Chains A and B, each alone.
Chain A
Amino acid sequence: MQALADASQVTQLISEMGAWVDSKRQANPQHTFALVGIRSRGDVVAHRVAEQLDITQVGVLDITLYRDDLSEIASQPTVRTTEIDFSLDGLDVVLIDDVLMSGRSIRAALSSLMDMGRPRRVWLAVLVDRGTDVRELPIAADYVGLTHAGDEHVRVLVMPTDEKDAILLGEDAR
């Protein structure tokens, strides 16, 4: 099992994502920013970025009910709570996920967000982009921590949900 990033590098990537969010915030001082992380690692990253920038409006999005593959997946989909306790209307929302691959999760997340309100603008920030060869929908991230276009499985571990910070590669990473 190979590590694409170790703990200090993950911390650095999250810190850089925060700096990027802050640059957008500085450039748009009249707008209100909110962070929304996609379960089940994007939400953890979102909370860590929010802590870094002292952003209080942080939401957690569960996209299960918006997935387009409910009839295809092998196991029972588990519905968990979406926790966005503020109005999305008029906000600049940074949607955060750990890995961008096919783009279907982001499509589902965008549909879900639009059903909950009308943000002024939505940005997409991800820690890892798997590259456009594996993309199935015309979706690109506004911020990418690192790109890894290989065939190996990529798994992001982030504290406190996981015991350590790391980005792992290979079959064992499943």
Chain B
Amino acid sequence: MSDYAWPHRHLLGIEELSAEDIRFVLQTARGLEDVSTRSVKKVPALRGKVVANLFFEDSTRTSSSFQLAAQRLSADVLDFKGKGSSVSKGETLVDTAKTIEAMGVDVMVCRHHHSGAAHKLAANVGAHVVNAGDGQHEHPTQALLDLYTIAKRLDRLDTFDFTGLTVAIVGDIAHSRVARSNVLGLQKLGAKVILVGPTTLLPGAFRDLGCELSNDLDNVLPRVDVVNMLRVQFERIASQAFPSTREYAVLYGLTPERLARCKPEVVVMHPGPMNRGLEIDGEVADGPNSAILQQVTHGLAVRMAVLFLVSTTHQN
């Protein structure tokens, strides 16, 4: 790894990253994790740089995580919310970004409801662009923090090699950029991925990516090392995807009874925010197998790593 150099000006998706790139981000995050536990929770690495948080879609936790990550690297942070801004007056994404860039911004973190928004931004601005979630396309930093959490919980921090691991991603796969980014990342690190959910939320296209698809959670659980429960995104589900939330909870909710079917050391994950009692039972979410709060903590280290790497790359 000593001759390796991070080759990306932007982080737009897991799709563009090689396994080596992913491992380098995760290794960098490992070196940054302790910053958050020290008495001075700050390092000077990005002193003098400006990171703009461009959030055209609501997201308190991702936005806060990026903000804190930038601040811990000593960057200045410009917070821009789409709502109530010139965007609602009709200004385009690119014009908004160019205006903000004219203020001397080095990195733009973009969350947008349109798939491809981050790519469009990267093609039109000189700043480094980090995709914080674009439509139903990708959410690369969520996938990276999930990978980091799995590596930490299952003792693979030295190699970030997931060969032999099986991960189930459960729920609303169809509308989930988290699922898509996770599938790509997990497979690149060598894990087997099983996608579980009702047929209406389980696009067959994922089979082409090499995933196993299943409608039967109880059958899948005993085989997996990690179970990643996705939020049912009611705001994205236009038609009736399943008969009732009650039925969904019965068939796909992770309950203590279902957890008992899993391997004892199974890692339970959820990208949040959780619908307790629907996709995950409160007792499971708060139990010893749950890594949900660790995911949040690791998100900070991973986002610090991403901001650091894109900012210090020498690739033009």
- CB-nearest residue of chain B relative to A117? B39
Contact residues in A for B43 (Cβ distance below 8 Å): 65-66, 112, 115
* Interface of chain B residues 1 through 48 with chain A (CB within 8 A): 1-6, 27-28, 30-35, 38-40, 42-45
How many of A's residues come within 8 Å of B, CB to CB? Answer: 21
* A65–B32 alpha-carbon span in the complex (Å): 9
Q: Which of these binds chain B: A13-21, A46-54, A72-80, A140-148?
A: A72-80
* A71–B35 alpha-carbon span in the complex (Å): 21
Contact residues in A for B305 (Cβ distance below 8 Å): 79
CB–CB A80/B31 < 8 A: yes
Q: What is the minimal beta-carbon distance from B46 to any residue of chain A, in angstroms? A: 9
Contact residues in B for A62 (Cβ distance below 8 Å): 31
CB–CB A65/B44 < 8 A: yes
- The digit string for B37-66, where 1 denotes a CB below 8 A from any CB of A, is 011101111000000000000000000000
Q: Is B145 positioned at the interface, with any CB of A under 8 Å from its CB?
A: no
* A71–B27 alpha-carbon span in the complex (Å): 21
Q: Is B313 positioned at the interface, with any CB of A under 8 Å from its CB?
A: yes
CB–CB A79/B39 < 8 A: no
CB–CB B31/A64 < 8 A: yes
CB–CB A81/B44 < 8 A: no
Given the contacts A62-B31, A111-B44, A117-B39, A79 and B314 also touching, CB distance less than 8 Å = no
Q: Is B86 positioned at the interface, with any CB of A under 8 Å from its CB?
A: no
- CB-nearest residue of chain A relative to B3? A75
* A79–B44 alpha-carbon span in the complex (Å): 13
Contact residues in B for A115 (Cβ distance below 8 Å): 38-40, 42-43
* A71–B314 alpha-carbon span in the complex (Å): 8
Q: Is A82 positioned at the interface, with any CB of B under 8 Å from its CB?
A: yes
CB–CB A116/B39 < 8 A: yes
Q: Is A70 positioned at the interface, with any CB of B under 8 Å from its CB?
A: yes
CB–CB B312/A70 < 8 A: yes
CB–CB A76/B44 < 8 A: no
* A116–B41 alpha-carbon span in the complex (Å): 9
Given the contacts A76-B314, A115-B39, A70 and B34 also touching, CB distance less than 8 Å = no
Q: Is B280 positioned at the interface, with any CB of A under 8 Å from its CB?
A: no
- The digit string for B285-316, where 1 denotes a CB below 8 A from any CB of A, is 00000000000000000000100110011100
CB–CB A66/B44 < 8 A: yes
How many of B's residues come within 8 Å of A, CB to CB? Answer: 28
- CB-nearest residue of chain A relative to B7? A76
Contact residues in B for A77 (Cβ distance below 8 Å): 312
Q: What is the minimal beta-carbon distance from B82 to any residue of chain A, in angstroms? A: 32
Q: What is the minimal beta-carbon distance from A40 to any residue of chain B, in angstroms? A: 10
CB–CB B31/A79 < 8 A: yes
CB–CB A70/B314 < 8 A: no
* A78–B34 alpha-carbon span in the complex (Å): 16
CB–CB A76/B312 < 8 A: yes
* A78–B33 alpha-carbon span in the complex (Å): 14
CB–CB B309/A78 < 8 A: no
CB–CB A70/B40 < 8 A: no
CB–CB B314/A78 < 8 A: no
Q: What is the minimal beta-carbon distance from A74 to any residue of chain B, in angstroms? A: 7
Contact residues in B for A78 (Cβ distance below 8 Å): 1-2, 4, 27-28
* A80–B309 alpha-carbon span in the complex (Å): 13
Q: What is the minimal beta-carbon distance from A105 to any residue of chain B, in angstroms? A: 15
* A71–B45 alpha-carbon span in the complex (Å): 10
- CB-nearest residue of chain B relative to A85? B34
CB–CB B45/A75 < 8 A: no
Contact residues in A for B73 (Cβ distance below 8 Å): 65
- CB-nearest residue of chain B relative to A87? B39
CB–CB B4/A76 < 8 A: yes
Contact residues in B for A70 (Cβ distance below 8 Å): 45, 312
Given the contacts A78-B1, A80-B31, A116-B40, A65 and B45 also touching, CB distance less than 8 Å = yes
- CB-nearest residue of chain A relative to B30? A81
CB–CB B312/A71 < 8 A: yes
Q: What is the minimal beta-carbon distance from B302 to any residue of chain A, in angstroms? A: 12
Contact residues in B for A66 (Cβ distance below 8 Å): 43-45
21 interchain pairs (CB within 8 A)? A64-B45, A65-B31, A65-B44, A65-B45, A66-B44, A70-B45, A74-B314, A76-B4, A76-B309, A76-B313, A76-B314, A78-B1, A78-B28, A79-B27, A79-B31, A80-B27, A81-B33, A115-B38, A115-B42, A116-B40, A117-B39
Q: Which 5 A-B pairs have the closest CB atoms?
A: A79-B31, A115-B40, A76-B5, A65-B43, A65-B45
Using A66-B43, A117-B39 as known contacts, list a sample of 5 further A-B pairs with CB atoms less than 8 Å apart, ordered by residue number in A. Answer: A78-B1, A78-B2, A79-B305, A80-B27, A115-B42
